[in-house]
Chains A and B, each alone.
Chain A
């Protein structure tokens, strides 16, 4: 049975499901209800099928490779390769897409009559199919086509809510940034083609030894920038905090949960699979990029009071953590320490899976809140735990997982990342030890700040009292939205408890890469569900889980039967000294984060706007209202993008001198270009 799924026919069925979903959704464009059910049910079916395909490819003894159809161009082949790495990413994409599609059935209902559901469903199906193609393509040109399908479809999804000018601007920024990235990727593939004479991944891989080091390094830099733009590495991250809040929430969940991971997938594919062996500095660069992204991402998240922007910055942070694992893998490989490299790669793959589950859960939870309250500003929310208890519990689960608290999954993947960094400190010499020390320090720091940030987010959104009228009238979301979130929360816990087994599977996934061939001794050992990093250290997730349960139970019983045995507990209102408690007495999220932001004011350059309106303008006694706005100045715009734009403009001014507007001048240019082309082709 699994052979059928992981074959060309199984894959065609997969693509057909999404194609039917997309086409039918357009046909039903007139009827929002039909378009909604049609597109999302086919997206569900397709993602479910995708999971089977992925599992089939995971258990297959050999990588599944096939070519579909024929192409009119000799260099473009629609060839697919489902090795275990691709299958793992297919699985992650399908898993998250499945739950997002269930959620979407009820979520998109609030767009009925406002925006066309048909086009949303069309681009949604195309988007998922595009991501699946990206993860399975085995030809450079075909990959670029799939990459464009994914990017353009997601652009249209981002601007779906198109009445707000801000969303259009966000979409435009996303489109520009993603195409900037694609330009770098195209350049990288063209360089590879020049050296190997083919766009096929297999040909590039076999011809890898012939590529000169200079070209290799150029390809590395180009693809790091190209894929890093999609993944959201600082300073290429600027589109993430703009595009995620603009998109509908299930789209944000998919984009943040899995789309940015396609950048990680391609980095693994190109660096580890196609270009190995490589020099030491590649890994060091990745480690530094990861450390910077993780630390700055979480700091910017702390400063944010838009809940979806906050989550977007956390995506940047988590991409940084994934890069720490990947970077240590690359460093170990160039230092001839393949077993340690395997550990680093497993850590980064595991964190990819975990981040996909809890980040999509958080985005879906945020979507449920925004759907009810119509605001993304956390300062206007609050007190939702009484009105939306299930959503609050789900969001809390996601928050605990992303803050790396055991027994949830985030803890174990960050633990693995820590292990690989510590191994780096222990096993390497003075050439690289400093970067591992910095990376481990920044990861530790990131963990603490992430916890503070989610205390802030959960507290401001769900605790205390509603700060606005909208927040007072929130209700629990409807059935399908909850049905999309509960399994994700359950998976966050499950992947934590069985993380020993998951790590074992991921070790098999990573071990099939060609660079790890011939090293039979696995570094990670998972016996009876426990992860052990080569005798250096180990952790047993089920035991951690049981101990936590026992501790909770013990504290509960101790309080109930020892301390409160003789006392009667009565519940009354809070003593408010006679005044009425108002939401204005609550700590705001800005106030909560202020102290941390001010510590880092050297990096973050906070801007504080104070304005006081007085009853008497002349004496300025008796202020009527005070307003304090704490913001973060966008140093990337002022220091990187604006100068680059100015430079481009200056060059354009020179180039304009060529444009004389005379037809005979243009004919001369054409003649010169023709002669040049003839000369170079001879």
Chain B
């Protein structure tokens, strides 16, 4: 027990928070091309994302949907949103995890094949946001399943999400080089 506790304290948190406020002015096509390069190298050309709505207020979903519209069109960079966690490389969880959705989130996590990356998207998913402390929520995705990356914003804009995705891919690339 003590050994387990010490291990818990000693191990650095693997969680990487990304603040996308710095990339408000970047060019989408430039970011997109870099994402495409990384996806080609790391995921053989296609990054499959499964989005899980764990009690979100749908704000983050609106922005994610916008990623697929003709303006952003992330599919051209090799990023796809898929319908089943069985096909996914990355889980994108939104919302403060309502109690009724916790089990669904856990099952989705279990159904995603390894290696997998979990991204908590939006302030709600990171720490509960405006819902924090409510009896109906678990406050954060990391309280329910292990989270690797966080993207802040309430909600983050599509441009911010793209920018953050690039940083995540850069981190994955750097880690895989080690």
A binding-site residues for B, Cβ under 8 Å: 568, 570, 572-573, 575-578
* Per-position binary interface string of chain B over residues 111-141, scored 1 when its CB falls under 8 Å from any chain A CB and 0 otherwise: 1001000000000000000000000000000
| Contacting residues, chain B, for A577 (C-beta < 8 A) | 84
Closest A residue to B113 using CB positions:
A570
Contact B107 A573 (CB under 8 A): yes
Q: How far is the CB of A26 from chain B (nearest CB, A)?
A: 62
Q: Is B16 at the interface (CB under 8 A from chain A)? A: no
> Residues 54-88 of chain B: 1 if any A CB is under 8 Å from the residue's CB, otherwise 0?
00000000000000000000000000000011100
17 A/B residue pairs, CB under 8 Å, sorted by A = A568-B114, A570-B114, A572-B110, A572-B111, A573-B107, A573-B110, A573-B111, A575-B84, A575-B85, A575-B86, A575-B107, A575-B111, A576-B107, A577-B84, A578-B104, A578-B107, A578-B108
Please indicate the chain B residues that have their CB under 8 angstroms from the CB of A578 in the complex.
Answer: 104, 107-108
CA distance A575 to B104 in the complex (A): 11
A594 vs chain B, min Cβ distance (A): 29
A575 contacts across to B, CB distance below 8 A = 84-86, 107, 111
Q: Provide the bound-state CA to CA distance between A568 and B104, in Å.
A: 25
B21 shortest CB reach to chain A, Å: 34
Interchain CA distance A576-B84 in the complex, whole Å: 10
9 nearest CB pairs, A to B: A575-B111, A572-B110, A578-B104, A575-B86, A575-B85, A575-B84, A572-B111, A573-B110, A573-B107
- From A578, which residue of chain B is reached at the shortest CB distance? B104
Min CB gap A577→B, angstroms: 8
Given A570-B114, A575-B85, 15 more pairs with CB closer than 8 A = A568-B114, A572-B110, A572-B111, A573-B107, A573-B110, A573-B111, A575-B84, A575-B86, A575-B107, A575-B111, A576-B107, A577-B84, A578-B104, A578-B107, A578-B108
**Distance from B111 Cβ to chain A, minimum over Cβ atoms (Å):** 4
| A-side contacts of B107, CB under 8 Å | 573, 575-576, 578
Residues of B within 8 A of A (CB): 84-86, 104, 107-108, 110-111, 114
Most chain A beta-carbon neighbours within 10 Å: one of B110, B111, B114: B111
A573 partner residues in chain B, CB cutoff 8 A: 107, 110-111
**Residue in A closest to B84 when the chains form the complex, CB atoms:** A575
Q: How far does the Cβ of A434 sit from chain B's closest Cβ, in whole Å?
A: 55
Smallest CB gap from A568: residue in B: B114
A25 to chain B, nearest CB (A): 58
Minimum C-beta distance from B69 to chain A (A): 26
- Chain B min CB distance to A145 (Å): 70
Most buried by B among A573, A576, A577: A577
Residues of A within 8 A of B111 (CB): 572-573, 575
Contacts of B110 in A (CB 8 A): 572-573
A577 to B110, CA, bound (A): 12
Question: With a CB–CB cut-off of 8 A, which chain A residues contact B84?
Answer: 575, 577
Q: Which residues of the partner chain A approach B114 to less than 8 Å between Cβ atoms?
A: 568, 570
- Nearest Cβ in chain B — how far from A567, in angstroms? 10
Which of B85, B86, B107, B108 has the largest number of chain A CB atoms within 10 A?
A: B107
Chain A contacts for B108, CB-based, 8 A? 578
Residues of A within 8 A of B85 (CB): 575
Rounded to whole angstroms, the CA-CA distance of A578 and B84 in the bound complex is 10
With the chains together, A570 CA to B114 CA distance in Å?
A: 9
Contacts of A572 in B (CB 8 A): 110-111
Identity of the chain A residue whose Cβ is nearest the Cβ of B110 in the assembled complex: A572
Residue ID in chain B nearest A577 by CB atoms: B84
How long is the Cα–Cα vector from A578 to B101 in the complex, in angstroms? 10
A454 to B85, CA, bound (A): 35
Closest approach, in angstroms, between the C-beta of B38 and any C-beta of chain A? 24
Distance between B100 CB and nearest chain A CB, rounded to angstroms:
11
In the assembled complex, the Cα of A21 lies from the Cα of B110 at a distance in Å of: 61
Q: Residue on B with the closest CB to A570?
A: B114
Q: Please, which residues of chain B bring their CB within 8 A of the CB of A570?
A: 114
> Which B residues are in CB contact (< 8 Å) with A576?
107
CA distance A575 to B85 in the complex (A): 8
Cα A573 to Cα B108 in complex, Å, equals 10
CB distance from B82 to the nearest CB of A (A): 12
A578, B104: Cα distance in complex, Å: 6
Shortest CB-to-CB span from B46 to chain A, Å, is 20
**Which A-chain residue is minimally distant from B103 (CB atoms)?**
A578
Quick one: closest A residue to B108, CB to CB? A578
Which residues does chain B contribute within 8 Å of A568, judged by CB atoms?
114
A570 to B108, CA, bound (A): 15
Complexed CA–CA distance, A578 and B102 (Å): 11
B95 to chain A, nearest CB (A): 15
Q: How near does chain A come to B107, taking the closest CB pair, in angstroms? A: 7
